[in-house]
Structure formats: structure tokens, C-alpha cells
Structure 1
Amino acid sequence: MGLFDKFKLGLSKTKSILLTDVRDLFKSEGRLIDEEFLDEMRAILIRTDMGYASAEEIVAEVAKNFRGRVVHLVDIVATWKTKLRELLAQDASPIRFAESGPTIIMVCGVNGAGKTTSIAKLAAMFKSQGKSVMLGAGDTFRAAAVEQLTIWSQRLGAEIVKGEPGSHPAAVAYRAVEQSVAQGIDVCIIDTAGRLQTQKNLMAELTKIQASIRKLVPTAPQEVLLVLDATTGQNGVSQAANFTQSVDCTGIVLAKLDGTAKGGVVVAIRQQVGLPVKYIGVGEKAEDLALFQPDEFVDALFADVAPPAA
């Protein structure tokens, strides 16, 4: 499955609602762009959870280009796509690999966001690239999380470092990095316990984990990925803003995109948080992880709404 098809699959619920709502805006002979139309359009955009500010920018662009004119669906969609590409624009942000030694990736997020599955998908991606992978089971307070990560490590052929139940996550992270250095592992991925962004003591723990990693590799971690659950919509934006205050996040993995009609939250994250969206989860399988590329994302979102702009 190509990237465009993965995006289409992941956005199917968002696209289904958008398709119905947008087509309902228009009649076969076109529609006058007036305040009533702009209000209806704004409401549709906000329902995708892209946020009021982003929706307002798109509405303003449509008003500037078409106010007082009768237009057809294809005209409006072309303007939407152009503006969304502008709002989503980011540097190409795949994983930043270490110049030498293991690349250390720390993964954090709230409980239930899809952290463990996202780690498995990242590991599968690296393994498919011929890289060796070490997993650090830093969620030491949940036996189920360690067990799940262990099963994934066996399935994917990755190494794993575990600690005793209740042991300090920073100690597990240290040992995982230590073994990665000793064994010449290419990529070391450190899991962390799920936590709410309001739990100050647990948020401080993330800083301790980073500090323990840097005792061995001062330039690490190369990436600190925040996993957000796309189904939470705007709450994910709040999570991202708070996490970045406690730990130096480098990018976002947006999980469960295929399970929500709120795919527009990608726009809100880019606009309100500023972190690059690096990967999106588009299904349950290990290979259902896609590198986020704004152009393909926008094209997939509107693939069945209107013909592509000339």
C-alpha cells in the first residue's frame, strides 16, 4: 500500500463526514458566497477538530477570493487544499539519526494514547530498513505494558531490556542505552509510563529519564516523540502543549487516526503547538505507520470530495 492509500485509509472516517457536509453546501448550479455560506463552512471545518483559528484562516481565504460570487464545489476545495498545505507546511522530519553509536528515541504520552503499539510500529519500520533495534521497557509500573512490549520484541526480532516491577524507569533507560552501546545496536527506543500532563511528579520523571540517558550519550536522545491519540481531538493539543513544557519533544506520532472523524486535529497541532507531526498511525498492524507528508495528506483528505484542481 502506497503512502497516499495509507492516508486515504487512515482518513476514511474524517473524509466520509467531510464529503457529506461539503457536498450539502452546494447545489448543482453553484452557491453564492455570502455570510450564511461562510458560517456553514466554518462549522464544517471546526467539526473536523482543526481548531477555530485554522478554520477561520480558511474561511477568510475563501471570503477574499470568492465573496459575492456564485461558485462550485471544485473551486472552494481547490482553495481549501492550497490553504491547508500552507497551514501544515513543515520541514521534512524523519528520524534524526546519531552520527555514531545508537540512535536513542524516547517515547512519551498519556495512558491509552497508543504508545506501546506506536513503539512496535517504529521498531518494525527500522527492522524493515535493516537496522538492529533495542527496546527499553520503561513503563515499569504496568506489568501489562512490559508484557505487551516483550511480545512485540519477540515478534519483530528486537532486543529488550526490562526492570523489576516498580523499579525506576530511569534505571531501565540507562541499562537499555548501555547495552545498545555495548552491542552496537542501531536504534534504541525507550518506552515511558503513560501519564497525564497534569501529574507534575510524573512529568518531572521524564526529565530524569532524559538525564540518565545523557550520562551515557550526552547528545541523546536524538528524538523525543510524543504519542497523541487522534480520537481525543482538541484535548490532544492541550496534552502536547503541556508535555513540551516538561520534556524536549522533537515531534509527534499521531495514533489511531483511522478510528476518528477528527483528522483535522493534525492542523491544530501544527498551528498551536508547532511540533512537526512525524508519523501517523493508520491501522492496527505493525506496518500501519506512515511518514507524515502534508501534500499527500491534504490530497487524500479531499480525494473523493472534488476533482483535483487543474
Structure 2
Amino acid sequence: MASKVQVQKAATLTGHRDSVYTLERSAEEHILFSAAGDGMVVAWNLREPENGELIARVSTSVYALRYLPQRNLLLIGQNQEGVRVIDLESKNILKSVALPKVAIFDIAHIPEVGKVFVAMGNGAVCVLDGESFELQTVVRKADQSARCLAFNSFTQELAVGYSDNVVRIFDGATMELKQELTLHTNSVFTLAYSPDGKLLLSGGRDAHLRVWEAEKGYTERGYLIAHMYTINHIAYSPGGRYFATCSMDKSIKVWDAQSFKLLKVIDKVRHASHGTSVNKLFWSAHQNQLVSCSDDRTISVWDINFGL
């Protein structure tokens, strides 16, 4: 099965001067944003990948970006400095939201409940109004970092992964704590609901990819030892038939979302992939390209052909 998946590097995007931590979509399938330890937020066009366009520059490293398609805004998580709201049309700063002076690991915008959630390095989840971006409330259920967020639009549940090894499930509207999933043995760095909302995938420092049945009270379906080291991110393909994981072990792996079979390993030896930790993935509907970013300061664009 694995041999049918063909992978080719389509482009390497360079220009960041520090580790590239995150990737985010835009209004158009062929344009994406990146942010890095150099404080630069850059837009890239997959049709002309040579030149990035500087969208914003902040004074701190950036781990989290979130695009708001309804208003063409980009939210930038400035570590220690809160959230900056950028109008992409004018590139002006619409607002700077002051938050606790800690790292910002993830931002989720949930139009269904009219809120923006911000995962903080002090264990807090800050809840902002989805229109005005005013801070509404701070929910703190752990002493260690809130690292990642995922929203299930079918159940209106917000899943939060923490560095105390727990995944906590909240009611997205009220932020009432509904459940705690405690099987990980180390920090939880990434969460993803399946496109149909039935499964929650979680991964992190223990290198285990765990699969939870969201519709059955989050009973665990099973787990895979997916990587040698930390799983940094999980991303579903546009159609939801596949998903990819990336790791501190420098590899990217492509999986069948139904059978959980490993279909392809993308690495330095076989594909001239990243030489250091792969931090985030973005699976674009533009020619089904998978985009990865790394501590090696580069962004790679992969053509993936499933040959089915």
C-alpha cells in the first residue's frame, strides 16, 4: 500500500531568520501565512513560491496565527505581548489585546459561539469576544501550559491539550469543564477532530497518537507509537481521507484516516526534507499540497499523489 503514495518536493520557502513555528490558511487556497522566532509574519503564494510578502513584524517570537475569513483579519499571538489583530487589506493593526505576559501557544476562532480562544503558557485559556476581541474571561484548569486547541462544530466542544499531560473537554459556549482525558504520559502538543466530528486525535511529547471516540464519551479507540520523539502537529487532508503528523524526529508521516495505516514517511534521507524538528503542517486544497515548517528556518511544499 505504502508504495503507491508518491511525494515530491515542489518548493522550499526561505527568508525567515529563525525557527518557523506555525502556518495558517488565508482566503485563497494558494496563499498561506507563516510566523517564526524572528517575529516576522509572511504571506506565501504557492503559485509563485520564491517571494514571501511581509505582513507584520512583532518584537517577540510567534507560535500562533489565526485567520478570520469573515472579516479578512489575521490574529497574531505575540509571546509575552498578547494578541495583535491585523487588517490584511490595509496591513494596519486594528487592535492589540493585552493578555498575561506569557507565551501564546494556540488561537482558535469559533464563529458558532462568537468567541476567540487563546491557549496560554500559564495554563489559562483566555476567552475573547469574537467581534470586539475584548477579553471576556480567563479559564484556568491547570498550572502548566495550555498548548493546543481544537473545536468540534458538531458538538460545540472545545478540546484543550495541556503540558500536565491532560486533554480537557469544555462546552464551547459556557467553558464548563465536561471531561478530562488522562492517558498521555507527557505534554499534549496537538489535537485534531476528524472532519465528521466523530474522532479526536491527540499527540505530544510521549510520541503516542491517541484516538478518542468523541461521540462515545471520548472512550479511547486505541493508540499508535507514531514517531520516535514528540508529535508536534496533526493535520487532515482537505477531503478528510488522510492525515499527516510531524515530529521533533524530523519526519512527516502520512496516514489513512480510516484504517490508521501508515502510508508514507517523508524525511531527509529519502526526500531532502527538514534537518531539524518539523513544527507545523498545513494541508492545502491547492493541488493537494502539504506544507511543513521547521526549526531549520525553512518551509517545504510537498506534492502528494495517492495514485488511487
Q: TM-score, normalised by structure 2?
A: 0.29
If each structure's strand is expressed as a fraction of its own residues, which one has the higher value? Answer: 2
TM-score, normalised to structure 1, is: 0.28
Higher relative contact order (CA 8 A, sep 6+): 1
